[in-house]
Structure 1
């Protein structure tokens, strides 16, 4: 009897991280770098028109930077991730690659493949 209790407890402890792992739903393009660069450049160019010009320039640069990054084919990788509670979020992953349906865990702002 005590062996079965110990075995059950051990299995619960070892399998709990797999049950709580996040899952990759789909891969999405990420243009955060282009948006940031475009907004900064647009703000500096628009500053010649005063504070309103800087705001308008930053907004225009934000959208233009994203479009330029997409247009030259330099988009990075982000993933839509579904957690154990069913909530969806987008996580950037410039270096690691994952497959749709793969189980992952979050380590700060990054994704790490779950050990199966």
Structure 2
């Protein structure tokens, strides 16, 4: 005889009246605790913090060099729209995009600090 989660292991399928209604649950099924939405949001922000710093630094170097977003996108080899979304925080670069930004930033940071 198959048992269902709501049935107690010793419960009979039919009661004295002859109906086939399941007995009352004897134990509760425990679901994983729900996370606080603020905790979820903060965890996501902490996970994205290195990307935010990278984008913030790249935007600062772009401004110091006095180039446009179009020129920066051409130097990086990415579409202008993609770079625009990165710089405005609507999207974050994935692995290859992060590598491109890191290399671009390292190359131009040394040029800027060398001129100061």
Q: Shorter-normalised TM-score: what interval?
A: under 0.3
* Structure with greater proportional strand content: 1
**Structure 1 length normalisation: TM-score?**
0.26
- Structure 2-normalised TM-score? 0.26
Whose helix fraction is larger, Structure 1's or Structure 2's? 2
